[in-house]
A and B are shown apart, each in its own frame.
Chain A
Amino acid sequence: MFRRLTHLFEYLFRRRRLEDDLDEELRSSFDMIVDRFAARGMSPAQARRTARLEFEGLEQVKENVRDGLVGSGLQALLQDTGYALRGLRRRPSFTVIALVTLALGIGVNTAIFSVFYGVLLHPLPYDRPERLALIWASFRTAGNARAPVSGAILGEIERRNRSLAGVAGIWTITRTFTGDNPEQVKCARVTTNFFDLLGVRAAPAHKGRTFAKEDNGGPAIMLTDGFFRRRFGGDDRLLGKGLPMDWENTLVGILPPDFQLHFAPDSNVPADVQVFDTFDNRVYEGRKQYYIRVVARLKPGVSMTEAQRDLDRVATEIGGAYAEYATENLQFTLAGMQADAVRDVRPALAALFAGAAFVLSICCVNVASLLLARAGDRRKEMAVRLSLGASRSRIVRQLLAEGGVLCLLGGAAGIAVGWASFRGLLAIRPERLARMADAGLSWPTLAFAAACLLAAALLFGFVPAIDSLRLDFVSTLRTGGRGWVGRLHRRAGGTLIIGEIALGFVLVTCAALTARALSKIEQVRPGFEPRHLLTFQISNGIPGGTVADWEAQLAAMPGVERVGATSHLPLDTDIPNWYSPYQPEGVDKNQAATLVSDLRCVTPGYFAAMGARLLEGRHFDRQDRAGGPQVAIVDEVLARTTWPGQSAIGKKIVAEHMSENGFEPRLSVVVGVVEHLHNHSLTKQVRGQIYMPFAQSPRSPLTFVVRAGVDPLSLAPAMRKMLHDRSKTAAMAKVRPMTDYLSREISPITFTAVLAAVFGALALLLAVTGVYGVFNYQVSQRRPEMGIRMALGAHTGDVLRMILREVGVLAAAGVLIGAVAALLAARWLGALLYGVGPFDPLSYGLALLFLPAAALLGGWRPAGRAAAANPAELIREE
């Protein structure tokens, strides 16, 4: 071993001496052989020639000696690398194009894969997260597939299942921390086993604990680490004590800093919950109150399918035990927790990832084409080196080294580009992709980049290397290095261009489709006028007065135009939706079980403040008070589906109201019809709506909406002060302009559209450079042909037209293939394309315009070069 190392040392650092030694030895041996032949009577010249034959080339022998020695591999590698670097420096334009192409391809892929990995693949930060699942109730009769459950159902699942290690429930409310600076926060109410089931422990930094069985429905609360630090300065002495709050409590523990809830938006469990307390699900015996989301942990060894089968059985048993669930056709759906949390973003991310993969493959194809062209340019050089004694393996190794060096440099630049683009994406990330920050550019991401690199390196190194292996140097020298590679490249180059144009067509079309969908969504009227609208939430009533006089006080402020309030603001997913079956008068109960609507209580000024249009009848007014005749306003969707062809005004419906005894059905008279307000989604009308006067069905918290003639947020400080003057302990929460809710709703589409546009632009750029690279090479190969054509009377314009026609034919073929592929891709994008058909002519038109233009742009310079050639000179070159 030691000796090998010293040899390696010698080889690497005393090479000069070794080389000189070898040189001298070979020379003297050669001379000896010459002497011997001369001694046999040959003439000196003849003796030298015979000796040379016997020696088979001095350089080749030397090469063989070098190859056989320890350290030669390393030496050769260093040498090849140095040679490759020099070669790249000698051709700066080639190097820059290749490196930029690689850096963009790898960079974009790394960034997109980081998002993809962070959001879809990075495991949830819980114990064995793959065994966690959500259980959704589905009421087939009412057509609601992702419903929460009631306390009673939760208990039944827990009792009757055989496949689950545990079942926990969670739902959210708001609570207020009182004191000098009152603050309303989101509070999740959980079953005592919730954290144990997830495998989350209390932060070890504080001496707290998570909930225990005895806490069931008691005062124990836990805080998130961030909230505890911000509001209470992380003071451990508070543990075991009650905090100033609108709820009797004892702080038992703090959650670890990295703890985070991960639920789908339609589960109404927001990620920014700051307080946890426990609820006793036995207390809520109301069998029809559905609000609890269920998390389950599968027993070890039980598969999802087995657990689902088990839950089907549980549903049947429950249906048999309680008649009301049987009529509603209660079923359970089990969904992996992670998959469920990201189900709404998965198609968009998969589309983006596919887009990035497309871009990378175009980049690879371009660089391979550049290298192939270069290898063609260097055939003469290779042939000369082969004839001077370089071994074929040596040449192949060197070509591989060039590919490798190019890839390493491109990869380093690519990771830098990836890092920067990832930062950029983080800045515009939609809330739904918050998890992309968790993983960042992590090991799997870098491994992915490395895999891309390796694939690229092999491709780039091997294509020219294989090419050179088949090099017949005699014929190459004779034909001036033009031979069959020119022909092959002409054919392969054509295929490359067609492929690039086709891929570019797909990406440009998809980008246009997404951009069009985005603009369509931005034009959607959500059923109200979102601009100039400030919203904020207040829980537990208005201190020192009524809601009506608080509204009057707000309305009197300068800059305020109209004021209203509602129990559930559209597009606000933090509060569990209020919806239940309703029964129009004259429809029997069984038939009515399928009629479900959203329910909201609103103050008289609400619709006017929102800018929602009253289509028929009247608004609520001061006369619609508690104890007076029960009235309701319905939306156009409910009016149309319930009483088709008739006016809804004066119709009577039984719907759930909030009363001092909790929820109870009451009969109301419809007095007005408003346009449909998009409560849940900008793009879909989810279900009809029934509105009740706040006075007749009061709920808390209330969200106030203030229409302002000035910048809505500028009103916030004065409003806060007004509330503070009424009570030191009351707080307003979520002070936001209404447009925030809309942009949050749109942001995934914006994100996709921005990325699609980037991909489209990249694809165009790549198509231009790709066509340029291929044709530039071909033109240089075909200069003699051009010369002959021009000598035979072709004009400059003829040559120009000929080359551009070739570009055009390839572009046309690419566009044709691309159009077919784009149709397939658009169908796959379907879900993302709101308001735009997969055959949208404008999007295809844009691609049809851009890609041939890109191809001609790329082909212009090479064509010009061919046409500008001087025929006499060209022919002389031969």
Chain B
Amino acid sequence: MDLLQGTLDLLVLRAVELAPMHGVGIADRIQQVTRGAFVVKPGSLFPALRRLEQKGWLEGEWAHSENNRRARYYKLTRAGRAQLAEEKRKWYRMTSAMNWMLESK
């Protein structure tokens, strides 16, 4: 399934909401949680990560991964958390609006 325009940011922010993660982990998590519906390729994932970091919503930090590789872990900042809440609200508003429309008689 293709990503809707603008939803990648929301997916990424949500993926790191609970714990910091590295890039490949984020992609895996999105794929798992959405049951394979969204596959984020590196070509769009890394630009998104860097962009979100530049906006101050994510913070990158080097650490060692589970199989002992150096990886860059992304953590949600305070501003990122606020942004996530905002994005969620927007998303719910939009989906309910869509539902009303689709389910109207």
Chain A contact residues, CB within 8 Å of chain B: 3, 7, 21-22, 24-26, 28-29, 31-33, 35, 54-56, 60-61, 64-65, 67-70
Given contacts A24-B70, A65-B50, 16 further A-B contacts (CB under 8 A): A3-B55, A25-B71, A25-B72, A26-B42, A26-B46, A28-B65, A29-B22, A29-B24, A29-B42, A29-B46, A31-B69, A32-B69, A55-B42, A64-B46, A69-B54, A70-B54
Other-chain contact of A54, B42, B50, B71 (Cβ < 8 Å): B42
List chain A residues, Cβ under 8 A from B42. Answer: 26, 29, 54-56, 61
Asked if B41 is an interface residue, CB under 8 A from chain A, the answer is yes
Other-chain contact of B43, A28, A33, A60, A70 (Cβ < 8 Å): A60
Asked if B5 is an interface residue, CB under 8 A from chain A, the answer is no
CB distance from B65 to the nearest CB of A (A): 7
0/1 interface trace, chain B 7-20, chain A, CB 8 Å (1 if under): 00000000000000
List chain A residues, Cβ under 8 A from B50. Answer: 22, 65, 68-69
0/1 interface trace, chain B 63-102, chain A, CB 8 Å (1 if under): 0010101111000000000000000000000000000000
Rounded to whole angstroms, the CA-CA distance of A399 and B55 in the bound complex is 31
Rounded to whole angstroms, the CA-CA distance of A112 and B36 in the bound complex is 69
List chain A residues, Cβ under 8 A from B51. Answer: 68-69
Kindly report which residue of chain B lies nearest to residue A3, judged by CB atoms: B56
B47 engages A65 (CB within 8 Å): yes
CB distance from A555 to the nearest CB of B (A): 97
Asked if B104 is an interface residue, CB under 8 A from chain A, the answer is no
Rounded to whole angstroms, the CA-CA distance of A60 and B44 in the bound complex is 10
Rounded to whole angstroms, the CA-CA distance of A29 and B49 in the bound complex is 13
Kindly report which residue of chain A lies nearest to residue B52, judged by CB atoms: A68
A21 engages B72 (CB within 8 Å): yes
Rounded to whole angstroms, the CA-CA distance of A65 and B48 in the bound complex is 8
List chain B residues, Cβ under 8 A from A65. Answer: 46-47, 50
List chain B residues, Cβ under 8 A from A60. Answer: 43
Rounded to whole angstroms, the CA-CA distance of A25 and B21 in the bound complex is 13
List chain A residues, Cβ under 8 A from B60. Answer: 21
A33 engages B24 (CB within 8 Å): yes
Rounded to whole angstroms, the CA-CA distance of A7 and B55 in the bound complex is 9
Chain B contact residues, CB within 8 Å of chain A: 22-24, 41-44, 46-48, 50-51, 54-56, 60, 65, 67, 69-72
28 sample A-B contacts, Cβ–Cβ < 8 Å, listed by A number? A7-B54, A21-B72, A22-B46, A24-B72, A25-B71, A25-B72, A26-B46, A28-B69, A28-B70, A29-B24, A29-B46, A32-B24, A32-B67, A32-B71, A35-B69, A54-B42, A55-B42, A56-B41, A61-B46, A61-B47, A64-B43, A64-B44, A64-B47, A68-B47, A68-B50, A69-B50, A69-B51, A69-B54
Rounded to whole angstroms, the CA-CA distance of A68 and B69 in the bound complex is 27
Rounded to whole angstroms, the CA-CA distance of A70 and B69 in the bound complex is 30
CB distance from A27 to the nearest CB of B (A): 10
Kindly report which residue of chain A lies nearest to residue B69, judged by CB atoms: A28
Rounded to whole angstroms, the CA-CA distance of A22 and B65 in the bound complex is 17
B54 engages A25 (CB within 8 Å): no
Rounded to whole angstroms, the CA-CA distance of A833 and B103 in the bound complex is 84
List chain B residues, Cβ under 8 A from A25. Answer: 23, 46, 71-72
List chain B residues, Cβ under 8 A from A3. Answer: 55-56
List chain B residues, Cβ under 8 A from A32. Answer: 22, 24, 65, 67, 69, 71
B41 engages A54 (CB within 8 Å): yes
CB distance from B24 to the nearest CB of A (A): 5
Given contacts A7-B54, A69-B54, contact A29 B47 (CB under 8 A): no
B23 engages A29 (CB within 8 Å): yes
Rounded to whole angstroms, the CA-CA distance of A60 and B47 in the bound complex is 11
Rounded to whole angstroms, the CA-CA distance of A55 and B54 in the bound complex is 23
List chain B residues, Cβ under 8 A from A35. Answer: 67, 69
9 closest A-B pairs by CB: A68-B47, A25-B72, A64-B47, A65-B47, A68-B51, A32-B24, A29-B24, A7-B54, A65-B50
List chain A residues, Cβ under 8 A from B23. Answer: 25, 29
Rounded to whole angstroms, the CA-CA distance of A28 and B69 in the bound complex is 7
Rounded to whole angstroms, the CA-CA distance of A234 and B43 in the bound complex is 79
Rounded to whole angstroms, the CA-CA distance of A31 and B22 in the bound complex is 13
Of A25, A26, A54, most buried by chain B (CB within 10 Å of CB) is A25
CB distance from B89 to the nearest CB of A (A): 23
Kindly report which residue of chain A lies nearest to residue B71, judged by CB atoms: A28
A56 engages B65 (CB within 8 Å): no
Rounded to whole angstroms, the CA-CA distance of A22 and B23 in the bound complex is 11
Kindly report which residue of chain B lies nearest to residue A71, judged by CB atoms: B54
Of B22, B65, B72, most buried by chain A (CB within 10 Å of CB) is B72
Kindly report which residue of chain B lies nearest to residue A10, judged by CB atoms: B54
Kindly report which residue of chain B lies nearest to residue A7, judged by CB atoms: B54
A61 engages B54 (CB within 8 Å): no
Rounded to whole angstroms, the CA-CA distance of A28 and B22 in the bound complex is 10
Rounded to whole angstroms, the CA-CA distance of A56 and B43 in the bound complex is 7
Rounded to whole angstroms, the CA-CA distance of A33 and B65 in the bound complex is 13
B72 engages A28 (CB within 8 Å): yes
List chain B residues, Cβ under 8 A from A70. Answer: 54
Rounded to whole angstroms, the CA-CA distance of A694 and B98 in the bound complex is 106
Rounded to whole angstroms, the CA-CA distance of A68 and B48 in the bound complex is 8
List chain B residues, Cβ under 8 A from A69. Answer: 50-51, 54
Kindly report which residue of chain A lies nearest to residue B79, judged by CB atoms: A3
Kindly report which residue of chain A lies nearest to residue B41, judged by CB atoms: A56
CB distance from B5 to the nearest CB of A (A): 15
Kindly report which residue of chain A lies nearest to residue B72, judged by CB atoms: A25
CB distance from B82 to the nearest CB of A (A): 14
CB distance from A718 to the nearest CB of B (A): 89
List chain B residues, Cβ under 8 A from A61. Answer: 42-43, 46-47
List chain B residues, Cβ under 8 A from A31. Answer: 69
CB distance from A308 to the nearest CB of B (A): 63
Kindly report which residue of chain A lies nearest to residue B22, judged by CB atoms: A29
Kindly report which residue of chain A lies nearest to residue B44, judged by CB atoms: A64
Kindly report which residue of chain A lies nearest to residue B25, judged by CB atoms: A32
Rounded to whole angstroms, the CA-CA distance of A68 and B47 in the bound complex is 6
Kindly report which residue of chain B lies nearest to residue A31, judged by CB atoms: B69
Rounded to whole angstroms, the CA-CA distance of A228 and B50 in the bound complex is 74
Kindly report which residue of chain A lies nearest to residue B48, judged by CB atoms: A68
Rounded to whole angstroms, the CA-CA distance of A33 and B69 in the bound complex is 12
Rounded to whole angstroms, the CA-CA distance of A15 and B45 in the bound complex is 20
Of B23, B24, B56, B60, most buried by chain A (CB within 10 Å of CB) is B24
Rounded to whole angstroms, the CA-CA distance of A21 and B50 in the bound complex is 11
List chain A residues, Cβ under 8 A from B71. Answer: 25, 28-29, 32
Rounded to whole angstroms, the CA-CA distance of A69 and B43 in the bound complex is 14
Rounded to whole angstroms, the CA-CA distance of A26 and B24 in the bound complex is 10
Rounded to whole angstroms, the CA-CA distance of A592 and B50 in the bound complex is 98
CB distance from B43 to the nearest CB of A (A): 5
Rounded to whole angstroms, the CA-CA distance of A7 and B67 in the bound complex is 33
Rounded to whole angstroms, the CA-CA distance of A29 and B72 in the bound complex is 9
List chain B residues, Cβ under 8 A from A55. Answer: 42-43
Rounded to whole angstroms, the CA-CA distance of A340 and B72 in the bound complex is 78
